Amino acid sequence: MKYLTSQDLLWINSQLLKRVVGFRVMDLEECIGYQYAYKREPEVHRDAGSFLEGLLRRKPFDEGNEITALVATLGLLGVNGLSLVARREEAHEILERVQRGELAGEEAVRLLARGEPKPVAEESVAAVMRRVLSEYA
Q: What are the sequence ranges of the domains in the chain?
A: 6-136
pLDDT one-digit tens code per residue, 89-113: 999 999 999 999 999 999 999 999 9
pLDDT digits (tens, 9 = 90+) for 23-32: 999 999 999 9
pLDDT given for residue 33 in this prediction: 95
Average pLDDT, the chain: 93
Assigned CATH topology for domain 6-136: Four Helix Bundle (Hemerythrin (Met), subunit A) (1.20.120)
Cβ atoms within 10 Å, residue 16: 20
In 3D space, the residue among 67, 30, 20, 80 whose CA is nearest the CA of residue 51 turns out to be 30
39 pLDDT more than 90: no
Please compute the mean of the pLDDT values over residues 40-68 and round it to a whole number: 95
